[in-house]
Structure 1
Amino acid sequence: MSTLSSMRNLNALLVFVKVAETRSFTLAAQRLGLTSSAISKSIARLEQELGVKLLTRSTRLVNLTGEGASFFERCRQILTEIEDAESAVTATTATPKGRLRLQMPVGFGRRVIVPKMWEFTQRYPELSIDIELSDRQVDLTYEAVDAVIQIGPITDERVVAHRLCNLSFAAYASPEYLARHGTPLSPDDLDHHHCLAYLLPMSGDHREWRFSKNGQDFTKVVSGALNINNAESLLEAAIAGAGIVMVSDFIAGNALRSGKIQRILSEYVVAGPEVSVVHLPRSTLAAKVRVLVDYLKSIIEDIDPQALSKTEH
């Protein structure tokens, strides 16, 4: 029996895919504007028609069975093809509208992107922007996020990435700290200083500091009495005289220009990671994603070159 002929319409597929993506009947219901009861009944009917169990339910989470995982991939392909077909027809005339969900790292988002997003909403008044500021890793395949600004290499082959820029990281300290403790002349001198490290919460480790000299890159693991998983907070501690930090230029820019901190070990500065905006391939034709990517590129082009080190697109 054909699946399409046995089901009333594609709504059952949409409900199933949303439950599989969110791993929750409640979240799926919220995303689709339905009740949890309607979601549960739709899944039950679908499982009855197919004659297989697609989901297993626990008190806190919904999981896919083996058959459910296979069916999920096929359903997602079907819905993606339908979305692509609709987008292809309307791409040239579509007005960006609806809700656009964007996730980005806290520091980069606060300093570079968020101050410019009000202008974006004025340019596209039919768009509503939801921005999540967090340093967590987002899985676009399973989360209701349209695009992510990512710092670092792109390892997910399922996404489309648009490079925005490269960051430049350097070591900084306040004039007061350097007056009290002296200025380190090499990375080895850091062993005798108070270093404020970036804490990696998931592992409990501290982010390595990268340096370069005579074309050779090397790293150094530092930590001290105060280690924080937020670059802006680390900078504030350095301004207060707590020690030496390594942060990107866009974080340090204002404090550096005002004299609250000084750059040290300048001859050891290494090129930082890439910054990209990424989305799923099916979003390429969506008007709201296309205008977002173009706008983000224009933001970077207008940034002070001392705050961000530009790369070729």
Structure 2
Amino acid sequence: MSNLRGIETFVRTVEGGSIAAAARQLGISAAAASQNLARLEKELGTRLLSRTTRSQALTAAGEVYFAQVSPLLDGLAQAHSELSALQDAVQGRLKLSCSVAFGRHVVAPLMPSFMARYPQVHLEMLMVDRNVDHLREDVDVGIRFRHVLEPGLIARRIATAPMVFCAAPAYLRQHGRPTSPEDLAHHACLAFRMPLDGRIMQWPFLRNGIRFAPTIQTAAVCNDIDTLTALAVAGAGVTRLGSFIANPLIAAGKLEPLFLPSAGPAETRADPEPMEYFVCFRDRRHLPGSVRVFLDFIDAALREHPLLRVPL
């Protein structure tokens, strides 16, 4: 159904008895309606209507085609009507938990659009990097990275964020540029402490398909990614950031990326392991309307995000 406008013009022409009637119903000129029909017939490679200055009639091919496509248009109209009714009816609270950095830099900027689309949904956001008990804390839907996925929930991967190792130009001028992950043992590293268990998050790489985490020299530790970012921009050391945080700062000249794919000899080259993000909820069979529309919304919005990769 590649020429939907042409199909609609054809059906309305048959139902209305003339191209002029179809044009009035569609809110277009008679000339535009005639062009729609001509394009459709050219695409199909056959005449659908025998037209004269005084009358028109379906051809044999037109009769077959009309019988098939007319119910499809009715179904589309019904679907639009039901969707509009659903959107109008969606209301109530949506409590969303999210990892702090991803929530602050990716999810929060998307929420004004969601709120405008569903004005009767009251949004509550819980930004934490710990395990969240959806039942006890009355959370409807969560967005988490793999390390803090809650047990007993349905989890669906929605995005993968490339991870970027970076440092300020001033730091690199003073201390040199690490050319391999192993060099991090000799640099001031700004690391993230997991609120979940107090462990320092590893800095994993992939080399020739093998995952490894090099030894690092920790100069500062924090449980907040934005604080680590500020330290890195100020020249305190090397840190590991999601692309959605690092790339704008790199573009502004405040940070420089390390371990680029084209840099260094092949035997020492390694790629930072990306971070996977999942949307989590309790029961796929009894989703409230607010959760259902949020899942559809965030899926579509992340596919448009320039700094993330999404599953097919």
Do 2:186 and 2:216's aligned partners in 1 also have CA atoms closer than 8 Å?
no
Which 10-residue stretch deviates more, 277-286 or 260-269?
Answer: 277-286
Matching of residue 182 in structure 1 with residue 189 in structure 2: no
Quote the residue 2:15 is aligned against: none
Q: CA deviation at 1:166?
A: 1.0
Residues 171 and 247 in structure 1, CA contact (< 8 A), matched pair in contact too = yes
**What amino acid is the match of 1:160?**
I
Alignment check: 8 A CA contact 1:212 1:270 kept: yes
Q: Which letter maps to 2:208?
A: N
Task: Report what 1:287 is aligned to.
Answer: 289
Deviation at 1:282, TM superposition (A): 5.7
Q: Structure 2: which 5+ residue stretches go unaligned?
A: 1-81, 262-269
Q: If the length of structure 1 is used for normalisation, what is the TM-score?
A: 0.65
Pairwise CA RMSD: 2.3
- In structure 2, what is the equivalent of residue 309 of structure 1? 309
User: Displacement, 1:255?
Assistant: 0.3
In the TM superposition, what is the alpha-carbon distance from 1:220 to its structure 2 partner? 2.2
Counterpart residue identity of residue 274, structure 2: G
Cα distance, 1:296–1:260 mapped onto 2, change above 3 Å: same
Matches within 5 A, 1:173-252: 173-252=167-246
The 3-state SS of whatever aligns with 1:226 is strand
Question: Match of 1:150, SS?
Answer: strand
- Determine whether 1:161 maps to 2:163: no
Give the share of equivalent positions with the same residue, in percent: 32
1:111-122 to 2 correspondences below 5 Å: 111-122=105-116
Shift of 1:242: 0.2
Q: Does 1:272 align with 2:266?
A: no
> Could you tell me which residue of structure 2 aligns to residue 29 of structure 1?
none
The verdict on how the C-alpha distance between 1:182 and 1:277 changes in structure 2, with shifts beyond 3 A counting, is: same
Structure 2 CA distance for partners of 1:148 and 1:274, relative to 1, 3 Å = same
Return 5+ residue gaps in structure 1 as ranges: 1-89
Question: For residues 100 and 158 of structure 1, do their structure 2 counterparts lie closer, same or farther at Cα, with a shift above 3 Å needed?
Answer: same
Structure 2 matches for 1:1-313, cutoff 5 A? 94=86, 95-152=89-146, 158-267=152-261, 268-281=270-283, 284-304=286-306, 307-312=307-312
SS of the aligned residue for 2:274 comes to: strand
Give deviations 1:254-301, integer Å, cap 9, x for gaps: 101111111111232234232111111167432111100011111101
AA in 2 matched with 1:230 = D
Is the 1:208–1:222 Cα contact (8 Å) retained in structure 2?
A: no
Q: Does the residue aligned with 1:266 lie in a helix, a strand or coil?
A: coil
Q: Contact 2:190 / 2:220 at 8 angstroms: preserved in 1?
A: yes
